Amino acid sequence: MATIPVPTVRHDPATPSPGDSLVGPPVVIPISDLGRRVSRLLLLRTLVVTVVLALSLWLLVTVDQPSRGAVWLQSGIIATTYLTSIVFGLLLRRGYAPPRLTRPMQATDLLITSMLVYLTGGAQSPYTFLYALSIVSAGALSYRRGAVVVTVASLIAITVVSLVAWTHLLDLPMSVQARPWEQGSLDLVRSVGVNYAAIIGVGALAFIFGDQLQRGAETLATTRKAVADLYTLHQDIVRSLASGLITITPDGTVLTANSAAGEILRCEPAAMINQPIDALMPGLAALLEGGGGELQRADLTVHAGAEQLSIGVTVSLLRDVREQMIGRVVNFQDLTELRRLEQQNQRSERLVTVGQLAAGIAHEIRNPLASISGSIELLKQAPQSSEEDRTLMTIVHREITRLNVLIGDLLDYANPRPQQTVDFDLGVLIDETLQVARGDQAFANVEVASEVSRPLPINADPSKLRQVLWNLLRNAADAAAAGGKHVTITARDERSGVTVTVADDGAGIGRQHIARIFDPFYTTKSKGTGLGLATCHTIIAEHGGRIDVESEVGAGTKMVVRLPRLDKAG
């Protein structure tokens, strides 16, 4: 809102702060308030002209021998007053600054009043009270200074007009009854003195009235500044909060939302207004009903676009100054990353435990398996073995081989070899892996496409990353074979590192399985050991990266691998 400063107070707008209202507050008069007062004065001016001058004109034309010149002059004064009111009103309506209109208005009023007083008898005019109206209006618009200036100007004007009318210096047609030059000098002094007393008295009252108005304006300006600073400080605090803050009505309609709330829920704060809170945070209304309207702590799962967010919510009652409940305050934080890290930590702990157990068991089982496998081979070659015996021994040998593969995977998982990192282009490694995959029988019925940006420089263990890519591609091919038969691998260089995505258009993975797919021996396939993804997770974690799953039943699965740019020291 535009403001004009009161002359007695200065304010430097270059250094505003919420504490300005406590020390040396600026005194400002809102222009909108001054504009309203100017508008009201114009209306009052028009009413006075309509009533007083019209009555004077009627009295003038009803006399036996009216002066035609006086009639025309008073009619001109009325027309001039209306015209100036219209001009000032249009200027005010078009945005002309009200402070720049007050002085021309006061000067015009004094000029019109002086002309009317002269035409109606000078010091003897019944319209000298119009000076008092000008003084009062000046006090209302310009306070003490305006009251003093217009009072002095009125005294000068009444003196000049009275003398000019008494000496008949201007040959202007006056009303028939007005003959000021016939008045004696003592009568003139008496009439002028009475007018002086009236004008000075009204000026004193206008000065006191203007002083009170100015003090009220200063207090109002200080209060407005303090309220504006408090409001700005409140807005700054709410805007700067790292957690989401939403206020809702008792029936659950959103009243306000800060910027952090929009960032967390992936929605513009303005779009949340007037929305039911259950549309933004499904399930919160039910929790509030069960908790008596308040909520100390709860976790909600919210779908923001394609993302699934885990949000920690606290709800407290919003009360007014009379301690009446007028709504609720919902404070929440995005815990998605924290929950992911917790799951990753729990998974790592499980993997360590299983790995230690697997390492011990694998070593104990592998030697007996070798003996059993050798014995079966000897029995198959015995001449007394029947065909049925050889068939059974073939089955046993095949299962022993399968167990040996499983134990090998266990050993690779539980006791991986140390990293041997080198600088290489990951894009070249992806192309080589895809070339091998396209020649593998498992990819015979699947179309494999790639979108790899070049170059993708990285410092890592190429053989281990090749194992990760191969496992992910094999899993994607198995899933795509039962779906749309398309597998796509994309790789791009980002600011934080390299991102590789392996996507398929298979049946997808249910939400109940996603949390466990990196657990050892957990698999949804009819064939497989359940160690492939667990091994991939371990390798990526060794490289300081992460592997995430994005899947929807019926829409396929994306495995997203994010690798940092490791230096040679790891």
Calculated CA dihedral for residues 474, 478, 480, 485, nearest 10 degrees:
90
Going by DSSP bridges, is the β-strand pair 486-494/447-452 parallel, antiparallel, or unpaired?
parallel
The band of 500, judged by pLDDT with boundaries at 50, 70 and 90, is very high
Q: State pLDDT tens for residues 273-319.
A: 898 888 888 888 888 876 667 778 888 888 776 678 888 898 888 88
300, 334, 368: which is the final residue of a domain? 334
Asked which of 185-199, 345-359, 382-396 is least confident by mean pLDDT, the reply is: 345-359
User: What CATH number corresponds to the domain at position 375?
Assistant: 1.10.287.130
231, 264, 295: which is the final residue of a domain? 231
> If you average pLDDT over residues 246-252, what whole number do you get?
89
Copy the structure tokens of residue 59: 């009295």
| 116 shares its domain with 258 | no
| 402 shares its domain with 443 | no
| 223 shares its domain with 271 | no
The band of 363, judged by pLDDT with boundaries at 50, 70 and 90, is low
> If you average pLDDT over residues 344-361, what whole number do you get?
69
Q: State pLDDT tens for residues 70-122.
A: 666 767 777 777 787 778 777 777 777 777 777 888 888 888 888 878 877 78
Secondary structure class of 524 (helix, strand, coil): coil
Total tally of structural domains belonging to the chain: 4
DSSP state of 527: S
Counting residues of the chain whose pLDDT is more than 70, the rounded percentage is 80
Q: Show the domain range for 428.
A: 422-563
- 30 φ/ψ angles, rounded to the nearest 5 degrees: -60, 130
> Does 314 fall in a domain?
yes
| 483 shares its domain with 558 | yes
User: What CATH number corresponds to the domain at position 320?
Assistant: 3.30.450.20
User: What CATH number corresponds to the domain at position 488?
Assistant: 3.30.565.10
Helix, strand, coil % over all residues of the chain, rounded to 5: 60, 15, 25
List of E strands, 216-324? 244-248, 254-257, 295-304, 307-319
Q: State pLDDT tens for residues 519-559.
A: 777 776 666 667 778 888 888 888 888 888 888 888 888 98
Of 141-145, 371-375, 464-468, 521-525, give the range with the top mean pLDDT.
464-468
Asked which of 22-36, 116-130, 262-276 is least confident by mean pLDDT, the reply is: 22-36
Please state, in angstroms and as integers, the Cα–Cα distance from residue 270 to each residue in 144, 280, 311, 562, following that order: 47, 13, 21, 34
Q: Answer with the residue of higher pLDDT: 62 or 144.
A: 144
| 26 shares its domain with 93 | yes
| 130 shares its domain with 193 | yes
* 79-88: b (≥16 Cβ within 10 Å) or e: eebeebbeeb
> Does 471 fall in a domain?
yes
| 43 shares its domain with 183 | yes
| 410 shares its domain with 453 | no
| 398 shares its domain with 483 | no
> Does 237 fall in a domain?
no
Q: State pLDDT tens for residues 148-200.
A: 998 999 899 888 888 888 887 776 666 656 677 777 788 888 888 888 898 89
Q: Is 147 in contact with 135 (CB distance < 8 Å)?
A: yes
> If you average pLDDT over residues 241-261, what whole number do you get?
88
| 390 shares its domain with 353 | yes
> If you average pLDDT over residues 440-456, what whole number do you get?
83
The band of 502, judged by pLDDT with boundaries at 50, 70 and 90, is very high
> Does 163 fall in a domain?
yes
Q: State pLDDT tens for residues 126-144.
A: 778 888 888 888 887 878 8
> Does 569 fall in a domain?
no
> Does 312 fall in a domain?
yes
* 146-174: b (≥16 Cβ within 10 Å) or e: bbbbbbebbbebbeebbebbbeeeeeeeb
Copy the structure tokens of residue 215: 């003090």
The band of 22, judged by pLDDT with boundaries at 50, 70 and 90, is very low
| 324 shares its domain with 470 | no
Q: How much is the pLDDT for 186? A: 85
299, 334, 369: which is the final residue of a domain? 334
364 pLDDT higher than 70: no
39 pLDDT higher than 80: no
| 248 shares its domain with 181 | no
> Does 496 fall in a domain?
yes
Total Cβ atoms within 10 A of residue 7: 8
569 pLDDT higher than 50: no
> Does 568 fall in a domain?
no
